[in-house]
Amino acid sequence: MTERIPLAIPNIGDREIELVNEAVRSGFVSSVGRFVSEFETQFAEYVGAKYAVACASGTAALHIAMRLAGVQPGDLVAVSDFTFMASSNAASYQFAELLLVDSEPESWSMDVVKLRAELERRKAAGEKLPKVIEIVHILGQPADAHAVIELAAEYGITVIEDAAEALGAVWTEGPLAGKHVGTVGQMGAYSFNGNKIITTGGGGMFTTDDEALAQRAKHLSTQARLPDRGYLHDEIGFNYRLTNVAAALGIAQLERLDEFVATKRAIARRYNEAFAGTDIQTPPDLPGKESTYWLYSIQVPASRGEHARDELQDFLAEVDIESRSLWRPLHMQPPLKAEAVIGGEVGEDLFARGLSLPCSTDLTESDQDRVIKRVLEWIQLAGE
Ligand SMILES: *Cc1c(COP(=O)(O)O)cnc(C)c1O
């Protein structure tokens, strides 16, 4: 009997248990306690942001960013079409209208050329322009943020980075060289959900270089309560703070982030080598962008028929290997049917053919070999 190989599971060690124990024993189990502020400081230092505010989830961090960008009902938010729905939910919570922007086929992230053409068209036609451009660093891959920032500056638009999936990813060339994803727009958001590269069970982080925004983020995340003797609130806030217990877990995980990133990259290298020379398409690996390969995802060749992705997934499931399809693009989501979309075909194709393979940071080489062997076997069978 073989053991089931999961897609991606948390990697919790002794240090995590030690710090969580300490947090629980201290009695400070809720949103007060030293771990929250320590986690914020260490996180900001790691990614190179001036300020970090811990949040209850990545979605909460994104929602706060939308609020701070001043997104009001009916405002337009441009967002990558090919992403997990949390990216747009944050804008929808503010009753924004969406402009869904298709991906480039090479990077799988927002097609800035298409977005620029659309903004020019809207401007000429006197139509609504976005208040925010939200770029998503998809699957650990840095997006084309520099081009987005330049475009946004021309139009006076705020840039929010959804870096939920890409903590640890960096640019190595060009104007953003040396920068971490999530630190180059006005505001960034990260997630520590159970399947992300580091986890706090559930949690997120808001980052910015702007002190006023950071203070407002903390204020909004704590019910907008003023430091007054009585309960005085100067606006409608949220209960979006991370707990001290979760932050303790986060600190221990952050200590291991470099190790996790190196492991994810090693896993990607082994898969890439194994699939070279087959018609399996490996994930983007572009000059100047160092992906973490958070979820290693392949594209099943179109020539294998329209159900090939599902067939491969079923084939792997039968031998106890978990895999998962990529996201259905936002323009195909029922609640977003009426939103504006630029293109959409690239995202549809990525969805139709995309499959994420096991890539837990504790995946053994022999388990990875088992996955590789089965994928190659399927390629042969499907090719006959
Ligand atoms: C996971 C994820 C989020 C949301 O993070 P949560 O912590 O689960 O709320 C947002 N955007 C993307 C692209 C994600 O993958």
Task: Give the per-residue pLDDT at 241.
Answer: 96
Q: Within a domain: residue 41?
A: yes
Residue 269's pLDDT band (cuts 50, 70, 90): very high
Q: Measure the CA–CA gap between 238 and 73, rounded to whole angstroms.
A: 18
Active site residue 218: no
Q: How many alpha carbons fall within 13 Å on the CB side of residue 250?
A: 33
Q: Residue 301 sits in a domain of what CATH number?
A: 3.90.1150.10
Residue 263 CA to ligand 1 centre (angstroms) = 21
Number of domains, the chain: 2
236 and 268 inside one domain: no
142: domain range?
14-254
SS3 170: strand
- Annotated catalytic residue within 196, 218, 264, 289: 196
In degrees, rounded to 5, the angle at the alpha carbon of residue 36 between the alpha carbons of residues 220 and 88 is 45
Average pLDDT over residues 37-48: 98
pTM for the full predicted model: 0.97
| Better-predicted residue by pLDDT, 227 or 196 | 196
| Ligand 1 atom with minimal separation from the 86 CA | 10
Q: Within a domain: residue 9?
A: no
373 and 276 inside one domain: yes
Main-chain phi, psi angles of 32, to 5 degrees: -105, 145
277 and 321 inside one domain: yes
Average pLDDT over residues 54-72: 98
Give the chain's mean pLDDT: 96
162 and 281 inside one domain: no
Task: Give the per-residue pLDDT at 32.
Answer: 83
Task: Give the per-residue pLDDT at 229.
Answer: 81
pLDDT beyond 70 at 154: yes
Average pLDDT over residues 337-351: 97
pLDDT beyond 90 at 381: no
Q: Within a domain: residue 1?
A: no
Cα 313 → chain centroid: 23
β-strand pairing of 354-356 with 324-325: antiparallel
| Ligand 1 atom with minimal separation from the 59 CA | 9
Q: Measure the CA–CA gap between 311 and 68, rounded to whole angstroms.
A: 45
Percent pLDDT > 70 in the chain is 99
pLDDT beyond 90 at 227: no
228 and 369 inside one domain: no
Give long-range contacts, CB 8 A cutoff, 24+ apart: 283-287.
283/108, 283/139, 283/141, 284/106, 284/107, 284/108, 284/141, 286/106, 286/107, 286/141, 287/173
32 and 98 inside one domain: yes
Main-chain phi, psi angles of 79, to 5 degrees: -145, 150
80 and 221 inside one domain: yes
Task: Give the per-residue pLDDT at 383.
Answer: 66
β-strand pairing of 76-80 with 51-55: unpaired
| Ligand 1 atom with minimal separation from the 90 CA | 10
Residue 86 CA to ligand 1 centre (angstroms) = 6
Average pLDDT over residues 333-344: 98
Q: Within a domain: residue 7?
A: no
| Number of residues assigned to the chain | 384
Which residue's C-alpha comes closest to atom 2 of ligand 1? 164
Task: Give the per-residue pLDDT at 11.
Answer: 96
| Ligand 1 atom with minimal separation from the 138 CA | 13
β-strand pairing of 158-162 with 97-101: unpaired
Q: Within a domain: residue 247?
A: yes
297 and 221 inside one domain: no
Residues in a beta bridge with 136: 162
pLDDT beyond 80 at 2: no
Helices (H), the chain: 14-26, 34-47, 58-68, 86-92, 112-125, 145-155, 211-221, 244-255, 257-275, 308-318, 345-353, 365-383
Among 212, 238, 254, residue at a domain's last position: 254
Task: Give the per-residue pLDDT at 384.
Answer: 62
Percent pLDDT > 90 in the chain is 93
Q: Measure the CA–CA gap between 80 and 91, rounded to whole angstroms.
A: 12
Please write the tens of the pLDDT for every residue from 68-117.
999 999 999 999 999 999 999 999 999 999 999 999 999 999 999 999 99
Residue 340 CA to ligand 1 centre (angstroms) = 22
Residue of 7, 55, 59 to test ligand 1 pocket, by largest number of atoms within 8 Å of CB = 59
131 and 34 inside one domain: yes
Residue 1's pLDDT band (cuts 50, 70, 90): low
Average pLDDT over residues 306-319: 96
Residues with CB under 6 A from ligand 1: 57-59, 83-84, 86-87, 136, 162, 164-165, 191, 193, 204
Residue 166 CA to ligand 1 centre (angstroms) = 10
Q: Within a domain: residue 2?
A: no
* Of 337, 332, 46, nearest in space to 188 by CA: 46
Q: Within a domain: residue 348?
A: yes
36 and 62 inside one domain: yes
180 and 291 inside one domain: no
Among 232, 254, 276, residue at a domain's last position: 254
Residue of 85, 109, 191 to test ligand 1 pocket, by largest number of atoms within 8 Å of CB = 191
Average pLDDT over residues 355-370: 97
Residue 306 CA to ligand 1 centre (angstroms) = 28
Q: Measure the CA–CA gap between 362 and 346, rounded to whole angstroms.
A: 32
Q: Within a domain: residue 23?
A: yes
357 and 249 inside one domain: no
DSSP 253: H
pLDDT beyond 90 at 181: yes
The answer to whether the CB of 221 falls within 8 A of the CB of 198 is no
Residue of 84, 103, 161, 350 to test ligand 1 pocket, by largest number of atoms within 8 Å of CB = 84
Q: Residue 116 sits in a domain of what CATH number?
A: 3.40.640.10
Among 228, 254, 280, residue at a domain's last position: 254
Average pLDDT over residues 379-383: 79
